[in-house]
Structure 1
Amino acid sequence: MNRWKPLIALGAAQFLVVLDTSVMNVSISQLVEDFQTDVAAIQATITIYTLVMAAFLITGGKVGDLIGRRRAFAAGLVIYGIGSALTAVAPTLWMLILGWSIIEGLGGALVLPALAALVGGNYAGRQRAAAYGVIGGLAGAGIAVGPLLGGWVTTYLTWRLVFAGEVVVVVLILAAIRWIRDVPVAGPRRELDVVGAALSVVGLALVVLGVLQSATWGWLRPRNSPVTVFGFSLTPFVIIAGLVLLGLLRSWLRHRERQGRDPLVRWALLDIPPLRAAVSTLLAQNLILLGLFFTIPLYLQVVQGFNAFETGLRLLPVSITMLVTSMSAPLLNKVATPRQVVRVGFAVLVVATLWLVAAVKPQIDDASFAAAMAVLGIGMGLLAAQLGNIAQSSVGEADRSEVGGLQYTAQNLGSSLGTALIGSILIGALTVAAQAGLAGSAQVSDAVKQQVGIAIAGGISFVPIDQVRAALTQAQLPPAEAEAITATYADAQLQGLKVALLAAAAIALLSLFLTRNLPGSRLAEQPGGAADATALRPPAGPGADDDLHKPTSRPGR
């Protein structure tokens, strides 16, 4: 039992950091009411949380290298606890964003890279594979259990208690931190790459901001864009600016390496094919997962009218199957290669998401919906059982914190893009379907069509049908026309949800192409029990002869 005590503390921290997003997803309707705002504002709040972590995770990993992994882990938990306390008492949306999205996000950016390095340093061989399987499972469970826990607390008490409880959990983890053996950083400690950190933070922030605001500003054709550029929306220019900065980041990192100075992250790490594949598939996995966990609660709460707890109950199957599947990593590694497991995982995600498309109906079929969610959990669990271990086993001990920063950056960038992109697709499809339905309605007069069409073009929200009906009644529209517009909007909601789910399925299908360089043979063990990184070498082919150990040699060491 003593050998698993570190995993208890580390797993609790992993669960805690990912819990928040799912709690917020299931509490969307209550948050809209409490802060007198709309779904788009809560979508932005959720996106900012994962964006802050994505933008600062690489820097957080480097800080862990400078001050020590266990110390960085503890410092991150303290910051996270402060953010949780502020969130619990937040009187306004801006205070919620400060406490949850920013302060907790910064704390998580310190915790997660250190956590990845500490898991790798406290376990080896099969134990390490099992530990990463548990960590991956708990990450998924945090996303999936959050709706049930947050739903019950939100419905019968208040969502604020979740964050007050997090402060208690942080204190308990800090009390148990002595169970975790610190993992010293090999070689000399160097200065923080401030320029690289700035380019990374601003570049990632601009890309996600552009995607997030696309639903409001328009992708190309300006809608509510604050300014227009050559007649186009600001969206593509913000995204391009972010990509340019990330391109400059790559050049800067290589420049630092040529000078023999320690860069923010060594770009050579991404020359390791299995690591590059693991990072890209982690991004895709979380893009799909968070996109779904933003879309599905909207269907359950806004369309079906379920409260937060009823929503959480309907998300429970994905939690159970994901946790069970992800914790089966040791068994899976005996019968299949990591590449095979991950490919099956993405294929299962495609099936589950298409099943969800069929399950989105005006009246929910609970049995079919539960089965689809259970299959979704199996797909996510298969991915969670492999990707963290592949990433960490691709490098030596000295690089684990840096790789932890990369893998968690990919996860949180995927989460940010998932919420922003799938949310944008949902609103875009809702707008198109509502305009088409309105144009084809014979029961609505041309004058009313023009008036409502202008309102739709100016920006449409995903709101309950009763709210639409009340607004049309207040506008004193004839009952027959009001009912026709309400029916059109209800149908547009379902079409928007289906398009968003189909987009997630398409991303899962395309993600199969990212798996080529994942290990094609089962991970071997060295006599001492450590995972043998040479087992991660891809089969012969273009790029297959990369030296997996070469990037672990730091300049000047």
Structure 2
Amino acid sequence: MNRWKPLIVLGAAQFLVVLDTSVMNVSISQLVADFHTTVTAIQAVITLYTLVMAAFLITGSKIGDLIGRRRAFGVGLVVYGVGSLLTAIAPTLWVLALGWSVIEGLGGALVLPALAALVGGNYAGRERAIAYGVIGGLAGAGIAVGPLLGGWVTTYLTWRLVFAGEVVVVLLILATIRWIGDVAATGPRRELDLVGAALSVIGLALVVLGVLQSSTWGWLRPRNSPVTIFGFSLTPFVIATGLVALGLLRTWLRHREAQGRDPLFRWSLFGIRPLRAALSTLLAQNLILLGVFFTIPLYLQVVLGFNAFETGLRLLPVSITMLLTSMSAPLLNRVAAPRQVVRIGFGVLVAATLWLVAAIGPQLDDVSFAVAMAVLGIGMGLLAAQLGNVAQSSVGEADRSEVGGLQYTSQNLGSSLGTALIGAILIGALASGAQAGLAANPQVSDAVKQQAGTAIEAGISFVPVDQVRATLAQAHIPPAEADALAATYADAQVQALKVALLAAAAVALFSLFLTRDLPTVRLAEKPKAGAAAAHPPRVTTAAAPRSQDRHAPSPPEMT
């Protein structure tokens, strides 16, 4: 039991950090009501949380190298606890965004890369595969159990208690942090690359901001774009600026390496093909998962009118199957190679999302929906059981923290893009469907069509149909035409949800092409004949200068 005490602490932290997003997703309707805001505003807050983590995770991993992994883990938990406390008492949406999205996000950016390095440093061989399977399973459980836990608390008490409870959990983790063996940083890492950190934050933030705002500004044709450039909306220019910043980051990192100075992270790590494949598939996995978990609660709460707890109950099959499947990592590693398992996982995700497309409608088929969600959990569990272990096993001990930062950056960037991109597709499809339905509806007069079309063009929100009826009544639309408009909007909602899920299925299908560089043989179990076998030294060339030697990628820990 003592051997697994570090995993208990690390697993609790992993569960805690990923719990928030799923709690927020299932509480969208209540948050909209409590803060007198819109679904789009809550979407922005959810996206900002994962974006802050994605933007600062690489910097967080470097700080862990500078001050020590366990210390960074502890400091991150303290910051996270402060953010949770502020979130629990937030009086306005802006305070909620500050406490949850920013402060908790910064805390998570310190916790997660240190966590990845600490798992890799405290376990080796088969135990490491088990540990990463457990961590992946708890991450999935946090995402999936969150709706049930958050739904019950939100419905019968208040969502604020979830965050107050997180403060208590943080204190318990800090009280047991000494159970974790520290992992000393290796290599002369004595400075923080501030220019690299700034470029990574700016680049990632602008890309996600552009995608997030596309539903408001328009992708190319301007709608509510604050400015227009050459007649186009601001969206493509914001995204392009972010990509330019990321291109400059690559050039800057190579420049730092050539000078023999310590970069934010070593770009040469991307030359390790299994690692590159693991990072890209991690991004895709989280894009799909968070996209679906943003879409489905909207369907259950806004379209069908379920409360948060009823929503959480209907998401429970994902929690069960994802946890059970991801915990099967040791067995899977004995019988199949990671590439086989991951490809099966993405195939299952395609099937599950298509099943969900067929299952949703004006009325819910509970049995079909529950089975589809269970299948979704199996697909996610297959991925969670493999990708973290592949990423960490692709490098030697010296690079674990750096790779941990890249690993969680990929995951949270995927989460940000999932909420932003799938959400933007959803709102765009809603606007298009409403416009098309309005134009084809003979029960609506031309004058009302023009009035409604202008309102849709100005910006449409995903709201309950009853709210649409109330708005139409306030606008003095004749009852018969108001009923026709409400019915058109309801149809457009269901079609928009289906389009969003089809987009997630398309991402899962495309992701099969990202798996080609994943290992085609089973992950090697480390020999038990000493630490040198468990953690191979970095391969160096005697003639190479020291400044170049420390920047070469560590050899993979795979057969």
TM-score range, shorter chain: over 0.9
Matched to 1:351, the amino acid is A
Deviations 1:527-549 (A, max 9, x none): 23789799xxxxxxxxxxxxxx9
Match of 1:551 in 2: 553
Q: Which residue of 2 aligns with 1:153?
A: 153
What does residue 90 of structure 2 align with? Answer: 90
Amino acid at match of 1:246: L
| 1:296-322: CA deviation from partner (whole Å, max 9, x where unpaired) | 000000001000000000000000000
Q: How many aligned positions are there?
A: 540
In 2, Cα distance between equivalents of 1:527 and 1:410: 31
Distance 2:190 2:110 in 1: 18
Match of residue 540 from structure 1: none
Matches of 1:77 and 1:378, distance apart in 2: 30
Over residues 506-542 of structure 1, what are the superposed CA-to-partner deviations in whole Å (9 max), with x where a residue is unaligned? 00000000000000000112323789799xxxxxxxx
User: Is residue 33 of structure 2 the alignment partner of residue 40 of structure 1?
Assistant: no
Contact 2:527–2:534 at 8 Å: present in 1 too? no
SS of match in other structure, 1:551: coil
1:509 alignment partner in structure 2: 509
The residue that corresponds to 1:227 in the other structure is 227
- Cα deviation 1:78-128 (Å, max 9, x = unaligned): 000000000000000000000000000000000000000000000001110
Contact persistence 2:23–2:150 (CA under 8 A): yes
Per-residue CA deviations over 1:457-499 (Å, capped at 9, x if unaligned) read 1100000010001111121211111111000000000000000
Q: Which residues of 2 match residues 57-136 of structure 1 at below 5 A?
A: 57-136=57-136
2:139 alignment partner AA: A
Counterpart CA distance in 1 for 2:399 and 2:521 is: 23
- Please state how far the C-alpha of 1:552 moved relative to its aligned partner: 2.6
Q: Give the deviation of 1:187 after TM superposition.
A: 2.3
Aligned equivalent of 1:342:
342
Gaps of 5+ in 1: 535-548
Q: C-alpha separation between the residues in 2 aligned to 1:204 and 1:479?
A: 48
Distance in structure 2 (CA, Å) of the matches to 1:98 and 1:186: 35
Matched, 1:466 2:466: yes
Q: Residues 478 and 75 (structure 1 numbering): CA distance in 2 closer, same or farther, change over 3 Å?
A: same
SS of the aligned residue for 1:552 comes to: coil
Alignment of 1:190-339 (within 5 A): 190-339=190-339
Partner secondary structure for residue 262 of structure 1: coil
Quote the Cα distance in structure 1 between the aligned partners of 2:37 and 2:382.
Answer: 38
CA distance in 2, matches of 1:514, 1:241: 25
Contact 2:47 2:416 in 1 (8 A): yes
The 5 Å alignment of 1:532-551 reads 550-551=552-553
Q: Which amino acid aligns with 2:395?
A: V
TM-score normalised to the size of structure 2? 0.95
- Who is 2:353 aligned against? 353
Q: Do 1:359 and 1:365's aligned partners in 2 also have CA atoms closer than 8 Å? A: yes
Structure 2 equivalent of residue 539 of structure 1: none
Query: Given that residues 124 and 534 in structure 2 are in contact (C-alpha distance below 8 angstroms), is that contact kept between their aligned partners in structure 1?
Result: no
2:386 is aligned with what amino acid? Answer: Q
Measured against aligned partners, the alpha-carbon deviations of 1:283-304 in whole angstroms (never above 9, x if no partner) come to 0000000000000000000001
Deviations 1:119-161 (A, max 9, x none): 0000001110010000001001100000000000000000000
Q: CA deviation at 1:397?
A: 0.6
Secondary structure at the aligned position of 2:8 is classed as: helix
In 1, Cα distance between equivalents of 2:74 and 2:209: 30
Partner of 2:519: 519
Mapped to 1, the partners of 2:244 and 2:189 lie a distance apart of 30
One-letter code of the match for 1:149? L
Correspondences of 1:43-58 after superposition (within 5 Å): 43-58=43-58
Q: Secondary structure at the match of 2:140?
A: helix
Instruction: Name the residue aligned to 1:537.
Output: none
Unpaired stretches in structure 2, ≥5 consecutive residues: 537-550
Describe the SS at the equivalent of 2:553.
helix
Q: TM (normalized to structure 1)? A: 0.96
The aligned counterpart of 1:445 is 445
Closer, same or farther: CA 533–386 of 1 in aligned 2, 3 Å: farther
Q: Is the 8 A contact 1:393 1:533 kept in 2?
A: no
- Deviation track 1:208-245 (CA, whole Å, cap 9, x = no partner) reads 00000000000000000000000000000000000000
Question: Which amino acid letter does the alignment assign opposite residue 241 of structure 1?
Answer: T
Q: Following the alignment from structure 1 to structure 2, what is the Cα–Cα distance between the partners of residues 173 and 49?
A: 22
CA distance in 2, matches of 1:376, 1:319: 10
The 2-side partners of 1:322 and 1:16 are apart by: 17
Runs of 4+ in 1 over 6 A off after TM superposition: 529-534
Partner of 2:548: none
Q: Residue by residue, what CA displacement relative to the aligned partner does 1:390-422 show, whole Å, maximum 9, x if unpaired?
A: 000011111000000000000000000000000
Q: Could you tell me how far apart the structure 1 residues matched to 2:398 and 2:27 are? A: 41
AA in 1 matched with 2:255: H
Whether contact under 8 Å (2:45, 2:101) holds in the other structure is: yes
Shift of 1:186: 1.4
Residue 390, structure 1, aligned to residue 387, structure 2: no
Q: Write the distance in 1 (CA, Å) between the matches of 2:370 and 2:240.
A: 40
Structure 1 residues 358-437: aligned runs within 5 Å: 358-437=358-437
Cα distance in structure 1, aligned partners of 2:403 and 2:384: 16
Would the alpha carbon gap of residues 207 and 442 (structure 1) be closer, same or farther in structure 2, given more than 3 Å must change?
same
- Residue type of the partner of 1:370? A
Q: What secondary structure does 2:221 align onto?
A: coil
- CA distance in 1 between partners of 2:168 and 2:267 (Å): 39
Cα separation, partners in 2 of 1:495 and 1:533, compared to 1, 3 Å? farther
Q: Which whole-Å deviations, capped at 9, do the CAs of 1:427-476 have from their partners, x for residues lacking one?
A: 00000000000000000000100000000011000000100011111212
Q: C-alpha distance in 1, partners of 2:192/2:107?
A: 18
Amino acid at match of 1:528: K
Contact 1:393 1:532 in 2 (8 A): no
Deviation at 1:550, TM superposition (A): 4.5
Deviations 1:315-368 (A, max 9, x none): 000000000000000000111100000000000000000000001110001100
* CA–CA distance in structure 1, aligned partners of residues 359 and 534 of structure 2: 44
When the two chains are superposed, the root-mean-square deviation of aligned CA atoms in Å is 1.3
Q: Is 1:394–1:533's contact at 8 Å kept on the other side of the alignment?
A: no
Alignment-mate amino acid for residue 394 of structure 2: S
Q: How far apart, CA to CA, are the structure 2 residues paired with 1:232 and 1:277?
A: 35
> 2-side partners of 1:152 and 1:358: how far apart?
28
Which residue identity is paired with 2:11? G
Task: Note if contact 1:523-1:532 (Cα within 8 Å) is conserved in structure 2.
Answer: no
